[in-house]
Chain A
């Protein structure tokens, strides 16, 4: 059994990083993917939607009123911008204002590349851009099942269970229409933005005054996972 697993992992790596179909990669770098996220704990269940947008070196996670956008810089740093769609405003952060280590892949494909690397390939089907793989990972805390589209570097579904808590992320639709995607990123780019560093000096701006006085408590639906399968999330402090 052990030998089989090793071989399977090698196959995954080969497929992911050696034999990637270039036309698929191209279409995967500009994509709009709509997901439904369902969380359940005992009898409680709630659902929300999250749209993953990719545009080359930019990734956005869009939820109801908030878009978290990340730009992958030449020096591998990640620069976040937060758009408030209702206000058509944005706050631009500097990489140093966030933190040292950031995972681009966790934002780009919802799952950290290192997590995908260590998952077990259970089965595989389809061809070319439609090829899909069933990947699994389990340790004593967490169980993750992923239906993975390796050529698109996109998750078709993610199921995570952690004791009583379960979370399912389902791909509802995907769209690779370049015009649509370019337009969306352009629209966000036209929003009036303010540097995070400049917020404090703008108490005369009603939008920023609200931010100064009350902070922004609206949260994005961002849900993505680090190499240990732990969710990186905006609410609650993990200490």
Chain B
């Protein structure tokens, strides 16, 4: 190999061009020797990605025995053929990279999951359905970052408990009559396998909202009812009122989600024989037995949530120690449903505060817990509750402790009900904080059950118009203002003002319910349209409410798909983009709910 490369001086490109453009034929000068210099090109070189040879030739016009730059007449490049195999050196830049390694490991664990997941039906002795009310995809992403940052990480790389589940897919959330859905129609789809109208509970689309008579023949059967009939233990846990749409869809049939107690119903509906949602919960066992001949079930084992007011008479004498209103109860039919429940289940435990909750024995036969007059507190506000409340994860742990005493298994629904409310108020802090608590509750369920016999599904009923926008740098506080890559100062918009990463498309918009007494009345103020100068505002404070575009008195649900996450037997069916009603069918397949219940009824 001729190595004269070091003698070739690089000439400015212009001169080379003028040389090659020259029409004088130097080769006719027979006095000069023709020189050829070949150079090896490295793998990855600019001329040849796989390496090769460059050959330079020309006449030695100055007779110095070397090919000088101005003597080059011809340049040939021959690239090596593409490699037929990759050496470990060639892949080193990839295989030593952590992102590469992590994803490679994930592929291998996914492959294992695919091989080991129980694909036959009926392998799930237990089923737990977690619902984050209003927990759309953007909420999950932001909550993941929020949780990671609370743990001192940058955040984006964090994974919530349910995001580590092996299977996931999407659910189309629309109701039969609505592009953007509500909890009543969506939870009915998930728990009964039938899509229905907005605002109705446990009844098919043939119903007319608010029309008692139209319920006839439209009543659906729920997964919780099937599990009850099949002899499993059953439970409902929520941070909302237990009579609120999502939990209600597991046990009630109502043409209106708002018929939570008798006073919420038109007299005509009561006269026509419709029963309010609270009464349906307490009468669950009797109602179910009346529906299927010869059936004998033992009722729901665990009921935990808020909504005491719908179970108590409108009479201050029935106020609990936790009362907020001057008269806690709302019922105008003088019925005390908590007492009726206790009469029905003398061995059961009724509690209304944290102390009562802590005292519940894990071998309790039945628990009825109503921790608040209305919805339970946001996780961040629990300390402010008068009589004290357990967290969603504490309730989940207790519920599983009680439910798993049954050899036939159990069916449990757990709802984080207030992600939705925080979003409606335009307050991202509480929406994300409650989502983090839901993730904690899911982890509790994973830790306290046998993965080989427990199907766990985590999903949302619908999304919200909550966005993650702008170009914040990695690790920027998710509730903070947008600070761009390479800067410590917030980006300014065209109006010269900073803006937050998270925001809402509609709703009440900016308000800052901090500690300042001046802001005391701001809850009464109309929607704030347009932009506000956030320069001096702590947008990460719990009382900060994000800006919005369309001024509405309440932020709204959104119509895009929601994520569905699953682990355990049958979880492999949670894949792709499906109607939300698929969730019931996955649970039914995994736990043989319909066939086991049918075997009992036809006995």
Contact = CB atoms under 8 A, between A and B. Distances in A.
A58 interface: yes
B111 to A, nearest CB: 43
A197 B519 contact: no
Given A75-B384, A215-B526, A234-B521, A199 B553 contact: yes
A214 interface: yes
B260 to A, nearest CB: 10
Interface residues of A, number: 54
B182 A232 contact: no
A216 B526 contact: yes
A233 B521 contact: yes
A96 B551 CA distance: 23
A96 B553 contact: no
Contacts of B517: 99, 101-103, 226, 232
B182 A201 contact: yes
Given A71-B324, A71-B326, A234-B521, A204 B543 contact: no
A82 B523 CA distance: 10
B513 interface: yes
Interface in B459-479: none
Interface string B523-536: 11111100000000
Given A195-B374, A216-B553, A99 B525 contact: no
Contacts of B183: 201
Given A201-B183, A233-B521, A96 B554 contact: no
Given A214-B553, A234-B525, A197 B424 contact: yes
Contact of B524 (A94, A198, A201, A219): A219
A83 to B, nearest CB: 12
A237 interface: yes
A217 interface: yes
A238 B512 CA distance: 11
Interface in B85-109: none
Interface string A194-234: 01111111111100000111111101101000100010111
Interface in B379-428: 381, 384, 386, 418, 420-421, 424-425
B515 interface: yes
Contacts of A211: 553-554
A180 interface: no
A47 to B, nearest CB: 21
B343 interface: no
Q: Say whether chain A's binding surface is mostly helix, strand, loop, or mixed.
A: loop
Given A79-B324, A222-B521, A215 B551 contact: yes
Given A58-B326, A71-B324, A202-B258, A196 B199 contact: no
Interface string A131-170: 0000000000000000000000000000000000000000
Contacts of A57: 326
A201 B516 CA distance: 30
Given A220-B524, A232-B520, A238-B518, A75 B513 contact: no
A211 B553 CA distance: 6
Contacts of A202: 258
B553 A213 contact: yes
A132 B381 CA distance: 43
A222 B327 CA distance: 25
A189 B309 CA distance: 14
Contacts of A222: 521
B522 interface: yes
A77 B291 CA distance: 47
A215 B552 contact: yes
Contacts of A103: 517, 520
A72 B527 CA distance: 27
A98 interface: yes
B551 A99 contact: no
B386 A75 contact: yes
Interface string A93-107: 111111111110000
A162 B413 CA distance: 59
Given A80-B523, A220-B524, A201 B553 contact: no
Given A215-B526, A216-B526, A232 B326 contact: no
Given A201-B424, A215-B551, A235 B525 contact: yes
A80 B552 CA distance: 21
B188 interface: no
A198 B182 CA distance: 12
Interface of B: 182-183, 198-199, 209, 245, 257-258, 324-327, 374-375, 377-378, 381, 384, 386, 418, 420-421, 424-425, 508, 513-528, 543, 551-557
Given A92-B325, A99-B516, A202-B258, 4 more contacts: A77-B384, A80-B523, A99-B515, A234-B525
19 contacts: A73-B324, A75-B384, A82-B524, A94-B374, A100-B513, A101-B516, A102-B520, A195-B375, A197-B375, A199-B554, A203-B556, A212-B552, A212-B553, A215-B527, A215-B551, A217-B526, A226-B518, A232-B518, A232-B521
5 shortest interchain CB distances as A-B pairs: A200-B424, A200-B554, A215-B553, A197-B421, A238-B518
